[in-house]
Chain A
Amino acid sequence: MELTQQILQYLLSGLSTGAIYALIGFGFAIIYNATSIINFAQGEFVMLGGMLSYFFSSVLKLPLPAAVVAAVLAATAGGVVFERLAIRPLKNATPLSLVIITIGGSILIRGLAMLAWGKDTHALPPFSGSEPIEVAGATILPQNLWIFGITVVIIVVNKLFFNYSITGKAMRACASNRRAAGLVGIDVRRMVLFSFVISSAMGSMAGIIIAPLTMTAYDVGIMLGLKGFCAAIIGGLSSGFGTVLGGLLLGVLESLGAGLISSGYKDAIAFIILLLILFIRPQGLFRKAETERV
């Protein structure tokens, strides 16, 4: 197996994982833009997506498509509850308190999942079979194609929503300047709610499409959430292509690093990149530096 074929394989695997990181990173970015806080419970919604699909399909025996839809709805409902109970009541809390609350929320959700479904790992059936597909000497699974496809669809829909719909534009207005948005009649608190709805829906979808490949358990949210956070930071917490590129870059670098340098340091590579970005270019790779007018 020549080196080029190997590198192609690393690239394809990396793009697939990167797409998941991008979806999760999007969730971070959307909530950050609407509320200026980092919602560290985002990873848990990813976990909920996978675990709920497992629950609906294996325990309640629903057909897979119905289970997926039900799981996304249930996770989104969870996101709404989280926002209502944990974020909305705290009108004057500092961003730091809110961040700590989201961390606490993530631990709570993780604990509830463990009590409800145990600590076992569970496999989800792949959406359309598991026969490998050859692509110029490298192989991918049909599930990888689902991941690419669904990620593209979600990102396109998001772009259209934020640029061409009133609600989307209203959310972007809140992100730019909350007070001004409030003054022109935008219900800021409702925009915050929407941001949680979108993030938890996207996060849970990400969890569902990756579950057939990586299996799901009550604690997959931690690592996925952190890596998604890395992706969002690399992309500068933007709601656009920056985060997508950030996620893909992270996935590919991880895969190449594990294959070419050393597999033991796979996780370390993601966090080294995060640290480098935070030290050298904290606004992300794709955003101009922010200046404040005094």
Chain B
Amino acid sequence: MTTKILRTMSAGLIVLLACSAAVAAPPIKIGGLFAVTGPPSFLGEPERNTAQMVVDEINKAGGVKGRKLELVVYDTGGDATKAVQLATRLIKDDKVAAIIGPSTTGESMAVIPVAEKDQVPLISCAAGIKITEPVKKWVFKTAQNDSLAVARIYEQLQKQKITKISILTVSDGFGSSGREQLKGQAARYGITIVSDDTYGPKDTDMTSQLTKIRGSQAQAIICWGTNPGPAVIAKNARQLGVKIPLYMSHGVSSKKFIDLAGDAAEGIRLPSGKVLVADLLKASDPQRKSLMAFVKDYQNHFKVEGDHFGGHAWDAVMLLKGAIERGGDTPSTIRDQLEKTRDFHGIGGTFTFSPSDHAGLTKDAFVLVEVKNKDWVLVK
């Protein structure tokens, strides 16, 4: 008797659930490929946190055009091979409509052929200019091009009449891309590169390279890499008594760099997205509103300040939201609508995409900041 009742009840429950599922429109699935663990985890973790936070908020407010967003995140560990496998899984098994990420240039370049072949829009959070130049139909990016970062630094050097520099770049995708940009743009700003050294991502001692630089005629050093290398370089430079100005890349634009380098970070300058100095921006800055909201939001959720890298994921999710609002809901319609984005005031800058520009930002996306008293200040 009881088994019969139980069975009918469960059958009824199942029917009810099936009905409710059929009534609501299915959620739009978005894939996330982030390096939550591994050396680039300082990129992937804030990106994953931010993406989840924004998707949850969008869903709490009712979703986009009545449909909820479902974020499926896979951890690539910063490994390009894994990223490709996971991208294929997102597309074939999870059937996502778009993919956000990966976190690094190396991984992005590996995943691009997958996105192009399977025709799913990819919004990368990595900085390498090669990701969107030349333009690929299905690939966009939210991180500022490293070419813009280099231009910012060179502008400053030119203003200070510095003509001879040394460059010290890490031997991975990010570093090589930066090195190409540094070498390619130098002549335009009247700068000669007197020495060109590299270091490995896991190297723990760069005194050899810095000793060589100290003995050269360089008037400034530009270091291009991501933590922890630049922190070691800052410490080594201080140890060796290197007096010339030290510039870093936007790869270390987070508090973590100051934590790792300690006193050695004082006086170091780097280009950064405006998020690091959100509270110092003029009220008239069009990005100020989004920036302050993001920083506070992230702080409430995760107890640390929102940073430059989390911002890339914020921009990616919001860009997708915009595309879906404008009518996209399949991979190809989302892609088309993404390309129509105009003047979106995000965290990384103001985005305007076009068929020939899938990076969407200009030089104004970067400001030059300096470390003072363990905090960031704007360099005028």
Contact = CB atoms under 8 A, between A and B. Distances in A.
B76 to A, nearest CB: 13
A185 B195 CA distance: 64
A141 interface: yes
Contacts of A223: 202
Interface pairs A-B: 8 shortest CB-CB: A214-B204, A1-B215, A259-B208, A258-B208, A121-B228, A264-B198, A13-B207, A9-B211
B11 to A, nearest CB: 43
Q: Point out which of A5, A132, A214, A267 has the most chain B C-beta atoms below 10 A from its C-beta.
A: A214
Interface string B259-271: 1111110000000
Nearest to A14: B208
A210 B209 CA distance: 19
Interface string B211-249: 110110000000000011001100100111100000000
Contacts of A17: 205
A259 B198 CA distance: 11
A113 B290 CA distance: 37
B343 interface: no
B79 interface: no
Given A213-B205, A259-B212, A266 B199 contact: yes
A132 B238 contact: yes
Given A258-B209, A263-B212, 6 more contacts: A13-B207, A121-B228, A123-B231, A132-B238, A215-B232, A223-B202
B374 to A, nearest CB: 13
Interface in A1-43: 1-2, 5-6, 9-10, 13, 17
B260 A6 contact: no
A88 interface: no
Interface size class of B (residues with CB under 8 A): 35 or more
Interface in A244-284: 255-256, 258-259, 263-264, 266-267
Contacts of A6: 211-212, 215
B282 to A, nearest CB: 34
Interface string B269-286: 000000000000000000
B332 interface: no
Nearest to B263: A130
A139 B236 CA distance: 10
5 contacts: A120-B256, A130-B264, A132-B240, A215-B204, A259-B212
Given A264-B171, A264-B198, A264-B200, A215 B240 contact: no
A290 B312 CA distance: 61
A5 B212 CA distance: 10
Interface stretch (B35-43, B61-69, B97-105, B146-154): B35-43
Give the interface residue-count category, chain A: 35 or more
B200 A139 contact: no
Contacts of A87: none
B228 A130 contact: no
A234 to B, nearest CB: 19
A188 interface: no
A67 B205 CA distance: 25
Interface in A186-222: 210, 213-215, 217, 219-220
Given A215-B204, A267-B200, A259 B238 contact: no
Contacts of B206: 263
B297 interface: no
A214 B199 CA distance: 14
B261 to A, nearest CB: 8
B209 A259 contact: yes
Contacts of B228: 121, 215, 217
Contacts of A118: 41
Contacts of A213: 204-205, 232, 235
B42 A120 contact: yes
A9 B197 CA distance: 17
A69 interface: no
A75 B214 CA distance: 39
Nearest to A210: B204
B164 to A, nearest CB: 15
A122 B41 CA distance: 13
B203 interface: yes
Nearest to B199: A263
A214 B211 contact: no
Contacts of A263: 197-199, 206, 208-209, 212
Interface string B9-41: 000000000000000000000000000011101
Given A9-B207, A13-B208, A132-B239, A123 B262 contact: yes
A154 interface: no
A114 interface: yes
A122 B227 CA distance: 11
Contacts of B42: 120
